[in-house]
Amino acid sequence: MPSRFLLAILVAWVSVAPARGEDQVLVSITGPLVGRVGDRVSFEVELVNRSGQPLRQLRVIDYFDPGFHHDASTSPIEQKGTVDLAPGTARRLTLDFLLIDAGRQCHRVAILDQSQQTLGGAQHCVEVAPNAAFTPPPAAPPSTVNVPALAVTTPPPLVPPPPLVVPGPVSAGTVPMTAPAAAALELDLTGPAQVVSGNVVKYVAIVKNNGTVASAPATLEFSWDDSLSPLEASDGYNLVGSKVTWSIPAIEPKGAQERQINLRAEAAQGAFRDSPPTRGCVRSVLSGLAGGSMIADDACVAITASADRPRRMSVSESGLRMSLADLDDPVQSGDATTLVCTVANGGTEPSGRLDLVVLLPDGARLVGDPIPSRVRVENARVSFESVSSIPPGGRQTFELAYRLPSSGTGRASAILTGGNLDGSLERACQTTFLEP
């Protein structure tokens, strides 16, 4: 069976052997979770020596369900030759199968020493969909592997393996784990760390093939946050919603493919130069790789606003005036009175954003819809939607009606604040509610 080193990529599916306390070899299997009858699937098997001592002449045996077909033999099959593992080192093998039957199909890898003792193992299953058009291949020859049945135990929680170390030379009499020719793709996304709002940022994704053979075609995808908007991209792109994709052709060994996108960066609405930066991120994903795996990378930029914060004015400097009055006073308890609040700009500059809050008496209940109608009510606190600005000489009127369930005096107050206002304006209004 061939063997190869795994690429250092983001892999979607990994099965790891539950670590028994006595396990000396940690086994993990990487491969697809779903497939279709007729698909050829490949699994990467990693062996890690976690025993703290050399392990020699290990046998690698795979037991597989009838829904898997291997050209060499029926289940089980054994790695040709044995494996030596120095302490803390790893070896990786490749297993290839043809899916020939629908349903849940599993295969199990067992590691045995020369005394037939099981030193570790793992299982990986694939959910296989049917395919009526598939023609089964000729039956594989019967297995000649002489192995004990797999032991079934209840393992404790997984213990992470030690860091991988490149193994040294293979001793005489063992089979070298040489890596066959393979592509090894790498994805690197670069962009600026910070930018001023309104400017353009450039992101470049470079896909490199560090392997020894040409890679298969793949798909490269860019997506971005709402604080970034696309302007232009490398030729050949396909824009769907908020994603840009390219078809990446086969890349020769030591070759590379580069794709670029330019986006305009915008700080959050209402941000100023001294505000915290707005974060904008771009994500790149290379997909369509062997076994359904993918490679991902992202890059983020801090977007600072370009506008200076307006100087805050005192209430007297702003020229703002506010009044609060009731239209009905006195009223019968249970009936409603209408409050009218008027804000006028008697200054020479636009007011900037203004916020009005009306505090009603305890027990008050709103009647009908306020004007403007967009408000937030929290108990006796009524917050009107912000006014973007009132021009010099302009005014804004707010109205709401309320009632009290019993007689007495109802005191309401209005509080006006603003983004450019240092301080607040407050007015109060009392209404008498009479006995019925």
State the CATH number of the domain containing residue 130.
2.60.40.10
Tell me, what DSSP letter sits at residue 262? E
pLDDT of 320 reads: 92
Residue numbers of the domain that contains 127:
1-180
Residue partners of 115: CB distance under 8 A and separation at least 6 = none
Q: Are residues 74 and 214 in the same domain?
A: no
pLDDT at 81: 82
**Tally of domains in the chain:** 3
* Model pLDDT, residue 22: 61
Q: What are the b/e assignments for 265-286, b being 16+ CB within 10 Å? A: bbbeeebeeeeebbebebbbbb
Residues 413 and 338 in one domain: yes
Residue carrying structure tokens 């824009």: 239
Same domain, 64 and 141: yes
d(C-alpha 383, C-alpha 378), whole Å:
8
Domain match, 389 and 428 both: yes
Neighbours of 173 (CB within 10 A): 10
Cα–Cα distance, 136 to 321 (Å, whole number) = 87
Q: Phi-psi bin for 319: left (phi > 0), alpha (psi -120 to 50), beta? A: left
Nearest-angstrom CA–CA distance, 301 and 203 = 10
Residue where a domain stops, chosen among 180, 202, 218: 180
What per-residue confidence (pLDDT) applies to 265?
A: 95
Confidence (pLDDT) at 148? 60
Cα–chain center distance at 112? 40
Is the domain of 11 the same as that of 137? yes
230 & 286 share domain: yes
| pLDDT value, residue 173 | 40
- Considering the domain architecture, whether residues 362 and 296 belong to the same structural domain is answered as no
Of 254, 285, 304, which residue is a domain's last? Answer: 304
Are 28 and 167 found together in one domain?
yes
Same domain, yes or no: 193 and 172 = no
Q: How high is the pLDDT of residue 152?
A: 36
Residue 187 CA, distance from chain mean position: 18
Q: Which residues of the chain have pLDDT under 70?
A: 1-22, 147-183, 291-292
Whether residue 148 has a cis bond before it, omega within 30° of 0: no
Query: What is the number of other CB atoms lying within 10 angstroms of the CB of residue 373?
Result: 10
**Residue 46, pLDDT score:** 86
Give the pLDDT confidence score for residue 356 in this predicted structure.
94
Residues 146, 239, single domain; the answer is no
- Check whether residue 167 and residue 240 sit in a common domain: no
pLDDT the model gives residue 313:
82
Assign residue 388 the CATH number of its domain: 2.60.40.1530
What pLDDT score does 147 carry? 60
Q: In the beta sheet, which residues pair with residue 202?
A: 262
What is the three-class DSSP state of 72? Answer: coil
What pLDDT is attached to residue 93? 86
Q: What's residue 20's pLDDT? A: 45
Rg (CA), the chain: 36
Task: Please give the share of the chain, as a percent, with pLDDT higher than 70.
Answer: 86
Interatomic CA distance for residues 190 and 201, integer angstroms = 11
32 and 167, same structural domain?
yes
pLDDT at residue 132, as a whole number: 86
